[in-house]
Amino acid sequence: MRASTVDDHVTIVLDGHLDAGAGAKLVDTVVAVLQDTPARIDIDLSVLTSFTNEGALALSSCRDLCSQVPDGLHYRTEGGAGQLALLSAFATQTD
């Protein structure tokens, strides 16, 4: 996982496997970058290779955390595991 900032736009790239540990790290990263009040946050899932349900649920947690980001939270996918993780995160979400 790596994060980069250009002006007030943060991009967090997830690669490899998104499990509960990586999901917790993602949530921690989002909480940390929110301290700098970015205008937009992108979570790039295009190079994700696999995921667990627990890891995918972190994606919906990030959405909740970013509800006040002016230009919003955006997920980048190019099919594959990243898109499936995103679909899984919101298909299994309980409110």
Residue 68: DSSP 8-state: T
Confidence of residue 35 (pLDDT cuts 50, 70, 90): very high
Cβ atoms of 37 and 68 closer than 8 Å: no
Q: What is the pLDDT of residue 83?
A: 96
Whether the full predicted model's pTM is greater than 0.85, yes or no, is yes
- Using the predicted structure, report yes or no on whether residue 95 has a pLDDT greater than 80: no
Beta strands in 1-95 (DSSP E): 2-6, 9-18, 40-51, 73-76
Distance CA 45, CA 68 (A): 22
Spans of all domains in the chain: 2-91
81 vs 90 pLDDT, higher one: 81
In the numeric block, which tokens belong to residue 30?
Answer: 């989002």
Which CATH number is 2-91's, of 1.10.10.10, 3.40.190.10, 3.40.350.10, 3.30.750.24? 3.30.750.24
- Is pLDDT of 54 > 90? yes
pLDDT tens digit sequence for 11-31? 999 999 999 999 999 999 999
User: What does the alpha-carbon distance between residue 91 and residue 85 come to, in Å, rounded to a whole number?
Assistant: 10
